[in-house]
Chains A and B, each alone.
Chain A
């Protein structure tokens, strides 16, 4: 216990013409159960009030606080300093636009993503407030929920080699999102319509299958299964066959 921690932190305020990207060093005494949430707030309060970083729920559920900790994209709020050596290097997530220091603009990218994949139920049915709800098997509801758990933290995209090479790559997160709608019986899009969005180099054919995305996903989403499933299904759809069943379904 009672270690002294050294934080090397990426600094750059793009709004300040006098500033240039550099690393700053902050030193803190470690306390019990210390997380990066606690550490960074202490640095801001005691050492440099201009330090920019994002936390919101600070409980691992909102996806705000992703950053690169000693080389690996992860959620800062659930990162315990005790699991790290006494020198910790913090960088903003690559790929996304930098807001300042450790803060990046994931919001804009994700909103564009869900406009691109039309991340909503497509149906002709109108809602009738006087009717009972449409029935659904609980197994199906659970399967949808499993893929719905993504918190849009951006770790998977930040870790992805393809995304680093092509800015228009949809990434595992978008493919997973579409898979969620493909298994949802309420969504009436045809397979051909789905694959118009992702059956190209920006989608499944751009993916090199090295699976860095699944390795870093803090919610442990089954990204690998979904990528494989979509690739097989796309190929079969192209030759007019029905395609396999999603591994998530019962």
Chain B
């Protein structure tokens, strides 16, 4: 068996993983990044919109500062975030955007003169100042008081990830792609590295490391319909949960985006609605004003997603072999606008739907988009539960997003957190000594090997892995979607427990030889169901509505009982996660209040306490 040693092992070579790697390699440490795909194919490359940082260079960003960014972020989180972390983030973001410029990102820049911009479908004029010529420009995004989203045309994630990977290559960071972590190695106190399976040969490889970072992105693929890349299936979250000691935070906080296209759930931008697009039902009736007379299609993401679901539940969706959907209508915006201002949408429609949005309706439905929950860390990115284990990016619950993250704040988080956590890892590496007990390593590898053999030989049963996955998808769809209620959640938890049993009885239909994809899925299937149970059980117990977590039977945001973060751990052999809670924030620089959008009632923090 191949065994490799390194100072820092990054599980993940997306923006968060590589930003940490660059920091450690820059300080002279040896770093290996693992990835399921070549680093540049990581999901970070898909982000188009941009990343938030209060530079205040453009006319519509005038007067912006980290303070305003901080306020937007806390409100966006519905007061579920750690405010110290949100502040650290807002303060550091401008420096990181400039650093990216230094490393080679072709940010769009300020062009002085009078420009025509659009708001709510209507044009207006604004002058960019000569003194700001050539500085980083910014565009508008939802939930922000100022134009603050830095962008490189419509390929921000792509440009930033390529730049970061260039930088990593320059510093000698190794990327072992087509390599999948299946478990963490630990002695009960320290994390010592990970066991990985080669997706080229199927062989197991042991990585021993003085520090280990989980930067594996989101786990959206436990849902059937998601904007996430197909590799975002939570493999590293499972490895963390399976230690029995590392808690996952706020797993019930799952963000849905209103406009994924049908059938492939590829995202079409919020800009469609921002520029005046409307949502229609199967009778071609514009229904949003019936529910939200004021804001209609321009209500916030969670609100629009909720209303669309409600409307389809009334039988107003268009039914297809791929499920129900609604229509997005941008035809009235005209050919010129669509081919230039919405070029990306135009391409997606032509390529993936074979329709021309200039004269055809776009089939859309709300779809899973972002995982606010993840490996719970402290402010330094150090995971709870094990020394030497860190986490950053979408995989982590650091926690600056609370129960709803703002557009443009996630990509920025990957590099900001990556920089900060990377520095903390460097400090840790300078002061730590680790020993690698061979027995611990051998035991972990033996456990993984046994699981593989049992699957190949069908020792535990002959359940079909795809059937099990479909069953899990079904439950999450009805129980842990946009709307949740006690009855469905309770039923869902029960069914997922049965599905978990089935997942433990999977047997392969194929030989499992080499880079067999059936084996890869079968190995993580029981863990995916455990993640699904963390989401569903957490949602069942959280009897309030906050951010993206909406309980029909508990419509209030309940600060009295639930201004808290859920922590889920999983003991070996258990059938449910163990849930505990901690205070959402150590300080409330901005005391809990109204978000200013979305409506809803609030039970104040100082209302008389009830027994929980």
A contact set with B: CB distance below 8 Å: 13-16, 31-33, 35, 37-38, 44-45, 48-52, 54-64, 78, 80, 82-83, 99-100, 103, 105-108, 110-111, 114-115, 118-121, 125, 127, 129, 131-138, 141-142, 144-145, 148-149, 151-152, 184, 186-187
Q: Report the nearest B residue to A99, measured CB to CB.
A: B200
Residue pair B46, A59 in contact (C-beta under 8 Å): yes
Per-residue A-contact encoding for B261-274, CB less than 8 Å = 1, 0 else: 01110110000000
Kindly state the separation between the CA atoms of A105 and B179 in the bound complex, as whole angstroms. Answer: 13
- Pick the residue among A13, A56, A148 that contacts B159 (CB under 8 A): A148
- Pick the residue among B170, B199, B351, B466 that contacts A49 (CB under 8 A): B466
Residue pair B109, A136 in contact (C-beta under 8 Å): yes
Which residues does chain B contribute within 8 Å of A134, judged by CB atoms? Answer: 101-102
Q: Is B134 an interface residue (CB 8 A)?
A: yes
Kindly list the 4 A-B residue pairs having the minimum CB-CB distance in the complex, ordered from nearest: A15-B514, A135-B134, A107-B38, A49-B518
Question: Can you list 22 A-B contacts (CB < 8 A)?
Answer: A15-B513, A49-B508, A49-B518, A50-B510, A50-B518, A51-B517, A52-B517, A56-B41, A61-B45, A82-B354, A99-B515, A105-B200, A106-B38, A118-B170, A120-B166, A133-B98, A136-B107, A141-B106, A142-B108, A145-B106, A148-B155, A149-B155
- Minimum distance in angstroms from B224 CB to a CB of chain A: 12
Kindly state the separation between the CA atoms of A136 and B98 in the bound complex, as whole angstroms. Answer: 12
Which residues does chain B contribute within 8 Å of A151, judged by CB atoms? Answer: 45, 158
Residue pair B110, A119 in contact (C-beta under 8 Å): no
Q: A62-B46, A133-B101 are in contact. List 8 more A-B contacts (CB 8 A).
A: A48-B510, A50-B518, A57-B229, A99-B199, A106-B38, A111-B175, A120-B166, A127-B102
- Pick the residue among A14, A127, A133, A142 that contacts B106 (CB under 8 A): A142
Q: Is B573 an interface residue (CB 8 A)?
A: no
Per-residue A-contact encoding for B257-286, CB less than 8 Å = 1, 0 else: 000001110110000000000000000000
Which residues does chain B contribute within 8 Å of A55, judged by CB atoms? Answer: 230
Which residues does chain B contribute within 8 Å of A35, judged by CB atoms? Answer: 264, 352
- Pick the residue among A16, A106, A127, A187 that contacts B511 (CB under 8 A): A16
- Minimum distance in angstroms from B75 CB to a CB of chain A: 28
Residue pair B321, A111 in contact (C-beta under 8 Å): no
Which residues does chain B contribute within 8 Å of A33, judged by CB atoms? Answer: 262-263, 352-354
Which residues does chain A contribute within 8 Å of B461, judged by CB atoms? Answer: none
B contact set with A: CB distance below 8 Å: 37-41, 43, 45-46, 95, 97-99, 101-104, 106-111, 133-137, 152-153, 155, 158-159, 162, 166-167, 169-170, 175, 177-178, 199-202, 229-231, 262-264, 266-267, 320-322, 347-348, 351-354, 465-466, 508-511, 513-518
Kindly state the separation between the CA atoms of A142 and B166 in the bound complex, as whole angstroms. Answer: 19
Residue pair A119, B166 in contact (C-beta under 8 Å): yes
Residue pair B134, A13 in contact (C-beta under 8 Å): no
Which residues does chain A contribute within 8 Å of B169, judged by CB atoms? Answer: 111, 114-115, 119-120
Residue pair A103, B136 in contact (C-beta under 8 Å): no
Which residues does chain A contribute within 8 Å of B263, judged by CB atoms? Answer: 33, 38
Residue pair B135, A133 in contact (C-beta under 8 Å): yes
Which residues does chain B contribute within 8 Å of A152, judged by CB atoms? Answer: 38, 40
- Minimum distance in angstroms from A42 CB to a CB of chain B: 10
- Minimum distance in angstroms from B594 CB to a CB of chain A: 36
Kindly state the separation between the CA atoms of A236 and B264 in the bound complex, as whole angstroms. Answer: 50
Which residues does chain A contribute within 8 Å of B158, judged by CB atoms? Answer: 61, 148-149, 151
Kindly state the separation between the CA atoms of A166 and B106 in the bound complex, as whole angstroms. Answer: 33
Residue pair B466, A45 in contact (C-beta under 8 Å): yes
- Minimum distance in angstroms from B34 CB to a CB of chain A: 12
Kindly state the separation between the CA atoms of A38 and B518 in the bound complex, as whole angstroms. Answer: 17
- Minimum distance in angstroms from A113 CB to a CB of chain B: 11
Which residues does chain A contribute within 8 Å of B264, judged by CB atoms? Answer: 35, 37-38, 58-59
Which residues does chain A contribute within 8 Å of B45, judged by CB atoms? Answer: 57, 61-62, 151
- Minimum distance in angstroms from B605 CB to a CB of chain A: 38
Contact A59 B348, CB 8 Å, known A80-B354, A129-B95 = yes
Kindly state the separation between the CA atoms of A115 and B168 in the bound complex, as whole angstroms. Answer: 11
Kindly state the separation between the CA atoms of A64 and B264 in the bound complex, as whole angstroms. Answer: 16
Q: Report the nearest B residue to A46, measured CB to CB.
A: B466
